């Protein structure tokens, strides 16, 4: 960024994980100019992961969700504005909010995230049919869970399964319906998916795979009472959670003529097709050296690392984005941690332990390690992150050797060399 831009006005649209981090990192790196963070939720920036975990079960309260205390923004001269950005004039370099406010920018960062998809079936808008994305959604679901008895979760991705675990922990009858033949199909390998299937079954959740939803029904009151499957079966339900994915919030970009293709298109520096506009977090579709085609990633790591890269660029240090993706999920007392991008793997290798509830699955493509899924194995996850980030070679043959551990391999391959005696 030029010296003039370093003192220019940076406007960030979206005050979620990525928007907050962009503003915080800009100040941390010495950005001198005015900094405005626009968010439409009317609460301070907060973290979403607990919404489907500790917050939903009541183990955490809202005060534990805020990314920083309110005073942080004042102290760092970050102007927080509550409002919805509705129009972007790229020639005039202004953003208009729904209440008519106009904000001039020197650089604009789109951190608009994504919104939960609703169910595209008859009855999908009945009362008692919910999605889970925001604090408001979680608050409503907490109240629903206090009353509900029969819960149906549609979609066995992370949000669906985490919600199922939270509902089950509160003693509800829970059925998960998934159109594909296993859970976590988009995001985890078959061995990991099998483990989570068993885990939920052991906790008394009923899982139905290969089943579509035909319609949702009520009893004339407008409140859901049943979920009809495509095979005609009806499941009684007084609370339905649709965990069927998200749509990136890209309308603002699209209306302004920026490239959008299932996400706001950026280059490897997270710049959109307008050099005065960056996109970060869940809304950005970006190239990554570990993926063959541009991708969107929905994770805290991605939101935070994107934000840091843009803050670096705007304060003078440009680099391509290549940070290692990692992710976690927690269901019951089980933690899954994923390092790398494993979707295109051709070989799976499970590293068992003496404990049947703890293992890691190594995923390889063309003989190279590309991802590691660790279940209750935090040390494996940390070792995997270093191995992958540093591109330390590991083949399936090496990993199959007796006594192999990720930590041992990391140590052996990265041990400081002893200088030869003089």
Ligand X SMILES: Cc1cc2nc3c(=O)[nH]c(=O)nc-3n(C[C@H](O)[C@H](O)[C@H](O)COP(=O)(O)OP(=O)(O)OC[C@H]3O[C@@H](n4cnc5c(N)ncnc54)[C@H](O)[C@@H]3O)c2cc1C
Which residues of the chain form contacts with ligand X (CB under 6 A)?
Answer: 13-19, 38-41, 48-49, 51-52, 84-85, 111-114, 132-133, 159, 249, 252, 281-282, 298-301, 303, 327-329
Q: Which is nearer to ligand X, 21 or 225 (CB)?
A: 21
Q: Give the DSSP letter of residue 50.
A: G
Alpha-carbon gap, residue 53 to 190, rounded angstroms = 24
In the complex with ligand X, the residue whose CB is nearer, 110 or 235, is: 110
CB of 306 to ligand X, least distance (A): 8
What 8-state DSSP symbol labels residue 123? T
| Helix extents (H) in 300-350 | 300-314
Shortest reach from residue 87's CB to ligand X, in Å? 10
Determine contact, residues 37/81, Cβ cutoff 8 Å: yes
Residue nearest to ligand X (CB): 16
What counts of helices (H) and strands (E) characterise the chain?
12, 25
Least distance from C-beta 197 to ligand X, angstroms? 19
CB closer to ligand X, 132 vs 369 = 132
| Shortest Å, Cβ 320 to ligand X | 20
Nearest C-alpha neighbor of 145 from the set 56, 235, 244, 49: 56
Strands (DSSP E) contained in 173-262 are 173-178, 206-209, 213-218, 224-229, 234-236, 239-242, 246-248
- Distance CA(36)–CA(101), nearest Å, equals 13
Give the bridge partners for 130, in sequence order: 241
Reduced to 3 DSSP states, what percent helix, strand and coil does the chain have, rounded to the nearest 5?
A: 30, 30, 45
- Closest distance to ligand X from the beta carbon of 84 (Å): 4
39 vs 123, which CB is nearer to ligand X?
39
Q: How far is the CB of 352 from ligand X (least distance, A)?
A: 25
**126 touches 224 (CB < 8 A):** yes
- Of 284 and 410, the one with the shorter C-beta distance to ligand X is 284
Residue closer to ligand X (CB basis): 51 or 235: 51
Scanning the structure block, which residue is given the tokens 């793997």? Answer: 345
User: Least distance in Å: CB of 56 to ligand X?
Assistant: 8
Strand blocks (E) in 244-343: 246-248, 264-265, 277-279, 284-285, 326-331, 334-340
Contact 29, 311 (CB under 8 A): yes
Q: Which is nearer to ligand X, 211 or 266 (CB)?
A: 266
């Amino acid at each position: 960024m030029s010296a003039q831009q370093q003192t220019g006005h940076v406007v960030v649209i979206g005050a979620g994980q990525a928007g907050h981090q962009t503003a915080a990192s800009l100040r941390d790196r010495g950005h001198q100019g005015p900094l405005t963070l626009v968010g439409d939720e009317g609460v301070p920036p907060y973290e979403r992961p607990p919404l489907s975990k500790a917050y939903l079960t009541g183990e955490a309260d809202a005060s534990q969700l805020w990314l920083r205390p309110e005073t942080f923004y004042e102290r760092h001269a970050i102007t927080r504005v509550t409002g919805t950005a509705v129009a972007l004039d790229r020639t005039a370099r202004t953003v208009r909010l729904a209440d008519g406010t106009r904000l001039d920018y020197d650089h604009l960062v789109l951190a608009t995230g994504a919104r939960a998809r609703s169910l595209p079936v008859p009855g999908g808008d009945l009362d008692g049919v919910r999605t889970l994305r925001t604090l408001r959604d979680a608050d409503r679901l907490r109240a629903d869970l206090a009353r509900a008895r029969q819960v149906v979760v549609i979609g066995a991705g992370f949000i669906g399964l985490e919600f199922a675990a939270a509902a089950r922990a509160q003693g509800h009858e829970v059925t998960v319906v998934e159109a594909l033949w296993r859970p976590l199909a988009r995001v985890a390998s078959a061995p990991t998916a099998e483990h989570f299937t068993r885990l939920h079954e052991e906790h008394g959740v009923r899982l139905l795979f290969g089943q579509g939803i035909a319609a949702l029904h009520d009893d004339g009151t407008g409140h859901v009472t049943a979920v009809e499957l495509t095979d005609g079966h009806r499941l009684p339900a007084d609370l339905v959670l649709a965990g069927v994915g998200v749509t990136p919030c890209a309308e603002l970009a699209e209306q302004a003529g920026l490239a959008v293709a299932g996400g706001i298109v950026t280059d490897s520096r997270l710049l959109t097709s307008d050099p005065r506009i960056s996109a970060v977090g869940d809304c950005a579709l970006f190239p990554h050296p570990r993926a063959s085609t541009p991708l969107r990633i929905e994770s805290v790591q991605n939101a935070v690392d994107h934000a840091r890269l843009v803050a670096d660029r705007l304060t003078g240090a440009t680099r391509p984005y290549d940070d290692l993706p990692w992710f976690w999920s927690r269901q019951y007392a089980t933690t899954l941690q994923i390092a790398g991008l494993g979707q295109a793997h051709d070989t799976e290798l499970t590293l068992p332990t003496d404990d049947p509830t703890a293992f890691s699955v190594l995923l390889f493509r063309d003989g190279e390690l590309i991802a590691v899924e660790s279940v209750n194995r935090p040390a494996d996850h940390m070792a995997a992150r270093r191995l992958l980030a540093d591109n330390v070679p590991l083949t399936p043959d090496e990993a199959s050797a007796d006594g192999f551990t990720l930590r041992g391999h990391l140590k052996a391959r990265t041990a400081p060399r002893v200088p030869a005696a003089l």
